[in-house]
Amino acid sequence: MTAEPTTQERFTVEIMVDPARCTGHGRCYSLAPAVFDADDDGFCLPRGVTFVVAADREETARLGARSCPEGAITVVTAE
């Protein structure tokens, strides 16, 4: 018998970085390196695709999103 996933395990966090708005300030990956990375030019990676992290990284993802001066990062909690 498989145990039901906990609420924390059921939810994930979907993140999208708008490549048209990211201007490479670097605040997201400086403040939230567990979620965001940088390319060689200082722009956020990944960008232009929706990527998923575990729910226990939601606060870190939202910190990165709040820190972006361009409002380029969207964070959505998904089931």
Q: What is the contact surface with ligand SF4 in residues (CB under 6 A)? A: 17, 22-28, 43-44, 68, 70, 72-73
CB of 51 to ligand SF4, least distance (A): 13
CB of 11 to ligand SF4, least distance (A): 23
- 9 or 42: whose CB is closer to ligand SF4? 42
CB distance 53 to 64 below 8 Å:
no
- As to burial, measured by CB atoms within 10 angstroms (0-12 exposed, 13-18 middle, 19+ buried), residue 21 is middle
Specify which residues 14 forms β-bridges with. 52, 76
CB of 21 to ligand SF4, least distance (A): 7
